[in-house]
A and B are shown apart, each in its own frame.
Chain A
Amino acid sequence: MSRDAIMGAIQRGLKRGPLPTDQQAMLAARMAAHHRHLVPARGQLDLAGRIALFAQYVEREFGTVARLENLQAVPGAITNYLAGQNIAPSIVVSPHPELEKIPFMDKPMLQVRYGVASAQDAVSLQHAFAGVAETGTLVLPSGPTRSTRNNLLPDTAIVLVHAADIYACYEDAFDRLRQAGGMPRNVMLVTGPSRSADIEQTLELGAHGPRRLHVLIIDGPG
């Protein structure tokens, strides 16, 4: 069997048999300890500093950012953003409890559908589990309340993140994911809109994923 052949060849190279159980226990403990390696200092700021750095990096990576007081401000912010980009006011929204609380009826012109994006959906609204200040990165896990397709299929991805969920580094976000129940099927770390430099080394936005990434930072609670 290939497995035995591969393991046998590795062990011959390491000049030993299978690892003794005490050493296996040591390695298992190392894995479970989730020891952090060197984490860059630049994200290690107070909350205000983390939010500012996060927003700065999202913009540097060709995303856009709007800071909002609370969820009540979301329908207006989305309507204005889409109008400014000349995009039809129709969005598919991940069925996350937070997003279900948004008072979309305040903006009747905005067509809202909760669910999973199909090829026809041009704009999505996603709920971020976290933001990471270190590189302006969004943490988007899959699950019953967050569709992975919504991060990928629409031309314009709008993502809502709570200011309090903006962490210094990726490690903080993964700690929180573990506390929330472990590794979901899919976790996307998203830094800016889709792009490619495959044609003559020249950067073009919107390769296969969204051409635009708009991040709504909610400052207040709820």
Chain B
Amino acid sequence: MLQSSEAFVGNAAKGMADAGLQRALARAKPQFAKKRQAAVDRLPEFEALRDVAAGIKDHVIGNLDYYLGVYADAVARSGGVVHWCSTAEDARAAVLQICRDAGAKRVTKGKSMVTEEIGLNDYLEANGLEPVETDLGEYILQLRREPPSHIIGPAFHLNREQWEESFRAHHKDLNPERVFHERRDILTEARGILREKFLTADVGITGANFLIAETGSSVIVTNEGNGDLTQTLPRVHVVVTSIEKVVPNVEDCLALLRVLARSATGQDMSVYTTFSTGGRQVGDLDGPEEYHVVLLDNGRSGMVGTEFQEMLRCIRCAACMNHCPVYGAVGGHAYGATYPGPMGAVLTPMLQGIESAGHLPNASTFCGKCESVCPVKIPLPKLMRHWREREFERHLQPAAMRYGLGFWAWFAKRPAMYRLGTRAAAWGLGLLGRKRGFFSTLPLARGWTGTRDFPAPEGDTFFAKYAEFVRNK
């Protein structure tokens, strides 16, 4: 996809001014949090399971080379083929070659963030194939030529009128006078159109939520059933996935599944959780004849052993963005990257470089909510802080910011002076702003007052108040 993380600041402002997006966010945000909490409340073991899940992922990362080797051997034993790919280019080329060898024209796709990461659709299209997204949300985005704005609810930013408008514009064979009375009519139309695509596709591409080393299985999780139709009906099934998705055995996978759906959609279990192992076996009534796994690295191996290693635990549930106040204000497109929100703010600089993605780890209030809901306990604020440090070390921020930070650091390292200074400022600003209670402009603070008022301090600093509290105790 087109990366535009450099433009985050401008994009964020655009997102906040977009009335349609704000309507969608207002609708979705409370739902995400409420549903997850309800699922967590229904399972007393949930908190303990988060530790189990994090432990499994750490165990895998510490032995990642071994488990990948075992996995690849198991895939080969089941009759499948693993295509190891260091880069996005390698992965795109591998998928195209498989499609060409299969003489494919039409390719159906289940939802896969890794195929977004490698920009697969544009590439296949440029090479004469017809990739068709079959997840309902991904399908409308493909019609509208938009990237997903969320990793599990890719089109939640769209409103009903936009769905209807796009369907009318693209489904030209249908009666133009038709009326969409309710949402279900939109769904039914998409079901009819995509059913035809499922039945006539030559190759089906899915992602994988997990790869099981012992058995060589890939696991997908969907609610629509589109992933299953994609991988069951065509002659060739291609799994496009990445190296950190491997787990040792089924039991490890089940433990992770118990936290995945609850964290993602607030379901106890998604509707379809499917384990695929190789191609059609002797006597099987259906299923693909060929089974391929395009196994992507794209910078992940370079995270092992670094301060960003914990990010490899991520199981892509989206709980972090669902609970993020920044994501909730600006939406997913503002990030200009495949992966938005807190997990994206850590992953994107790894995938595309901190030079262009530096804004993302800075787009956080460090409120810590993301870490508190993460099913595999990734310390996201800490990892974002590491990126800020790297950015500072490499002199990537503007000079004014560096001088400002330097000045503040000098001041902060001298506590007596710092307290006196802040106390004087609080007192002075309190006095000046007493009448109105806020400032609409302040010297050196245009970044703040340009878009909102600055509240006038009501009294003393925290330190002074605390000292007073201790004295009176």
Contacts and interface: CB of A to CB of B under 8 A. Distances in A.
Interface in B257-301: 257-258, 265, 267-281, 283-287, 297, 301
B2 interface: no
A7 B156 contact: no
Contacts of B198: 208
B195 A119 contact: yes
Contacts of B278: 185
B45 A196 contact: no
Interface stretch (B7-15, B130-138, B330-338): B130-138
A40 B31 CA distance: 25
B269 A189 contact: yes
Given A7-B69, A10-B65, A208-B194, A183 B268 contact: no
B254 A171 contact: yes
B187 interface: yes
A87 interface: no
A170 interface: yes
A200 interface: yes
Interface stretch (A25-33, A70-78, A104-112, A214-222): A25-33
Contacts of B453: none
Nearest to B138: A198
Given A35-B251, A185-B278, A201 B27 contact: yes
Nearest to A170: B254
Given A135-B269, A189-B272, A209 B224 contact: yes
Looking at B52, B140, B184, the one whose CB has the most chain A CB atoms below 10 A away is: B184
B287 A142 contact: yes
A9 B297 contact: yes
A195 B223 CA distance: 5
A148 B75 CA distance: 20
Contacts of A151: 228
A124 interface: no
7 contacts: A37-B251, A95-B285, A135-B269, A174-B254, A188-B228, A204-B187, A207-B224
Interface of A: 1-3, 5-7, 9-15, 18-19, 24, 27-28, 30-32, 34-38, 40-42, 57, 61, 94-95, 115-116, 119, 134-135, 137, 142-144, 146-149, 151-153, 169-171, 174, 182-202, 204, 206-210
Q: Which 4 residue pairs spanning A and B have beta carbons closest together?
A: A209-B225, A13-B304, A13-B305, A207-B224
